[in-house]
Structure 1
């Protein structure tokens, strides 16, 4: 730091302010310091800075370790948001039989200032984490040693209502639902929104096929084979785009086409949805907005600042494509 200060013609305190992202440094001076840092290949000593400031400038993320679109998109958004906030990321997964507590303890051993919990599985009970650090959970209710925790999530209930209402507005008498695994809190929210929309419209609630599992396309295909045998099925809201792909394949195998014979809406807005035949109507989640808000809340708690207000944003957007249409009897 002394060498950087000498090269930039500033004090060590100014270099420290630039490195730590603090204010009260003019743009010209900041650029001069950053140029010296690049020229000298300067690396902050994280351990020494942690001893001096009492913080590691590192955020821990506990995640499921899934390759599915939703969880991976959230992880990417979190890593980018953490980096923009001037912190680094440390990841630990709950895959291979390791629970949330074990993943958390591995992060605490590395040294982190706060935790983001990206754990989509919810057994209906609160998760108690043995830490006094601030925790932001993306959906799962948590408890911490001193209560410093916040839940940030997209409104999956409202999104599922939107999908169901779209199909009802096209003239379908009711809407079938293919649910995701019910130990995922997001799948429970989507089922709840579907039920609320049917009840509000006075439509009867049909029985559910078997819920999905950890193989979305295959479980969607299995549900599709079950529903394809029922001629009264004209509209289906599926809890996941990959499941919707499997379901459409099952209907096609018995000669029932989308959307002429059955309309289908998915969830997640995977990039491939727009290139299916026909393109899939789906609900696209704003993973970047959720990640940005989660990191803003967590870093404010870490630094002792007031928590930011809940952002005003559409949590989920309905993308209407060619997989939905009025029922064929209305043609």
Structure 2
């Protein structure tokens, strides 16, 4: 749409299309796009905001003009008018654990799909001072709100009172007192799915290897296991305390094997996450214990590669995409000052080769 002219001395300059001037070195404005595309200022605005009432040919002409001019929307000016920046902050912990990582990815994907920008900050410890310093940083950035991926009690305490200054959505708790919207995977129901699957196979001696007690997910999964057992009339063993690591699962497996002369192995084990299950599978394989013929193992999270454990792991698969979408919905509600709500997202059982009928 433009052409190159060669001037005296061989210098080159860009000639604008006939009847079009950019006004020197100033950046192109929406009016420039409208003039080049031969449409109104309002039509350009509709195209930029994905308004449905624009003919496709017109939409393409406006997009071509935007590309030709290198036009970029003035987000600062837009924020003055709408009182929104189109950006949210996300606080998560400095951790490689699967659950927080997948939650962050889910939130980012959902935000990107609706044109919202995400600024991420990590904290090493959920201390009130460090979390509030991060929230102050987001306030200085002018974000519309903050998503807090709150995995355990310290996170809830650190953020609880901050919703008075900034819209906050917490991912993890099922409910927080005050004006904080919450979104969470239904960990309790997910654990019930795992235990229900094993009960349907005929198991009644189902041991639970739990996660760290300060973690919200760990406590909910333990409650789900216990209630499912009691409702089925089964007598549960005491849960074995663990953490989130495969090495702890391996150590617990070795200990259970060493106690076989005193107490037989359970016929099935439900672990609080897949890494604990991976460690158990390793310990059983080293000892020649067949899974699932001698003991079934079921995990939680459906981590990348769990279908390639040996044997492939039966596990609970959270609906990560729904988690991200519901989180952005709650953020919009928080920004609009709607009453705080708690939203639960479902999960499903993914059955693989690590679970089967109980041994005789």
Q: What is the aligned partner in structure 1 of residue 47 from structure 2?
A: 18
Consecutive unaligned residues in structure 2, runs of 5 or more:
1-29
The one of 244, 255, 259 equivalent to 2:288 is 255
User: Aligned pair count?
Assistant: 322
The one of 205, 217, 235 equivalent to 1:174 is 205
CA distance in 2, matches of 1:228, 1:171: 22
Q: What is the aligned partner in structure 1 of residue 106 from structure 2?
A: 77
Q: CA deviation at 1:289?
A: 0.9
Consecutive unaligned residues in structure 1, runs of 5 or more:
none
CA distance in 2, matches of 1:304, 1:32: 38
User: Are 2:260 and 1:227 equivalent residues in the alignment?
Assistant: no
Q: What is the aligned partner in structure 2 of residue 160 from structure 1?
A: 191
CA distance in 2, matches of 1:24, 1:221: 60
CA distance in 2, matches of 1:90, 1:168: 44
Q: Normalising by structure 1, what TM-score? A: 0.88
CA distance in 2, matches of 1:304, 1:27: 36
CA distance in 2, matches of 1:163, 1:20: 45
Q: CA deviation at 1:232?
A: 3.2
CA distance in 1, matches of 2:132, 2:176: 12
Q: Normalising by structure 2, what TM-score? A: 0.81
Q: CA deviation at 1:174?
A: 1.8
Q: 1:209, 1:226 within 8 Å by CA — same for their partners in 2?
A: no
Q: 1:78, 1:295 within 8 Å by CA — same for their partners in 2?
A: yes
C-alpha distance 308-237 of structure 1, shift in aligned 2 (>3 A): closer
Q: Hey, which bits of structure 1, 4+ residues long, moved more than 6 A?
A: 304-311
Alignment of structure 1 residues 1-331 onto 2, 5 Å: 1-22=30-51, 24-95=53-124, 99-123=130-154, 126=157, 127-131=159-163, 132-140=165-173, 141-142=175-176, 147=179, 149-213=180-244, 216-229=245-258, 230=260, 231-302=264-335, 315-329=346-360
C-alpha distance 87-212 of structure 1, shift in aligned 2 (>3 A): same
